[in-house]
Amino acid sequence: MQDKDILRVRDKWSGKVKYVTPLLKGLQYTFTNLLSKHKTFQYPEQKRPVSQRWRGLHRLERDSQGQLLCVACGLCAAVCPAQCIQVVPYEPENGERYPEDFKIDELRCIFCGFCQEVCPRRAITLSQVYDYVDYHRDDFQFSFAKLDKPEQLSFHYQRSLLQKILG
């Protein structure tokens, strides 16, 4: 009998023992989560709560008299990395300045929050609305009407008659 004919069991299994420990740890993690309480929300009936710092759809703020706080300085449009904000300033003869047109392309926006941080009058903020849906690209061009109350644009789920009957 020669040395090459001897089958050494220890040498054969020594490298494969390294795989058993991670396998057992993975199985332990799986079974631990299997028996724990689930954190599932029944979206769209239940919406998950978001943090106060959440960056959702944009909002143009107004003062107590209902006037826009924005003075069309253009800082938000200049700092925006996605170039999704367009501000057209208007200055009548009385010296006040305000935006004649203010548009935000929500499809291009990356919701970085730079526009909110750079605004000297805190005229633009990001709301907590995260579930705005629509069918056409043009509907994601936000102007004054949509920027006043973004909460009304939130998705509202309505159950069908069949779903109401079935429970």
Q: What would the pLDDT profile of 82-134 be if each residue is shown by its tens digit? A: 999 999 999 998 888 999 999 999 999 999 999 999 999 999 999 999 999 89
Higher per-residue pLDDT: 50 or 156: 50
The token pair that represents 41 in the structure block: 């929300």
- Higher-confidence residue of 10 and 138: namely 138
Residue 2 is given by DSSP the state: -
**How much is the average pLDDT of 1-20?**
68
Three-state SS letters, 61-123: CECCCCCECCCCCCHHHHHCCCCCEEEEEECCCCCCCEEEEEEEECCCCCCCCHHHHHCCCCC
Determine contact, residues 54/165, Cβ cutoff 8 Å.
no
How far is the C-alpha of 144 from the C-alpha of 72, rounded, in Å? Answer: 13
Q: What is the pLDDT of residue 43?
A: 82
Residue 156 confidence class, pLDDT cut points 50, 70, 90? confident
pLDDT score recorded for residue 76 = 96
Q: Is the pLDDT of residue 12 over 60?
A: no
Report how far residue 152's alpha carbon sits from residue 166's, in angstroms, rounded to the nearest whole number: 29
- 57 or 41, higher pLDDT: 57
Nearest CA to 58 out of 66, 49, 70, 47 is that of 70
For residue 8, give the H/E element and its range. none
Residue 99 is predicted with a pLDDT of 95
Give residue 48's pLDDT: 86
Average pLDDT score over the chain: 88
